Amino acid sequence: MSAESGAGQPEARRSTAGNFAFGAGAFLTLATATLGAFAAVALLGRTVDPGPLSGVAPGHGHHALVVGGIAVGGLG
Please choose, from the candidates 27, 45, 47, 49, the residue with its C-alpha nearest in 3D space to the C-alpha of residue 37: 45
Burial of 66 (0-12, 13-18, 19+ CB in 10 A): buried
- How many domains is the chain built from? 1
pLDDT value of position 67: 75
- Does residue 3 carry a pLDDT above 90? no
Q: Is residue 37 part of a domain?
A: yes
Indicate the pTM of the whole model. Answer: 0.50
Residue 70 burial class via C-beta count within 10 angstroms: exposed 0-12, middle 13-18, buried 19 and up: middle
The residue range of the domain holding 66 is 18-49+58-75
Which burial class, exposed, middle or buried, applies to 71 when counting CB atoms under 10 A from its CB (0-12, 13-18, 19+)? Answer: exposed
Of the two residues 29 and 44, the one the predictor is more confident about is 29
In a domain, 25, yes or no: yes
Mean pLDDT (the chain, rounded): 75
Q: What percent of the chain has pLDDT over 90?
A: 18
- Whether residue 38 is contained in a domain is answered as yes
Does 1 reside within a domain?
no
Q: Judge whether residue 27 has pLDDT over 90.
A: yes
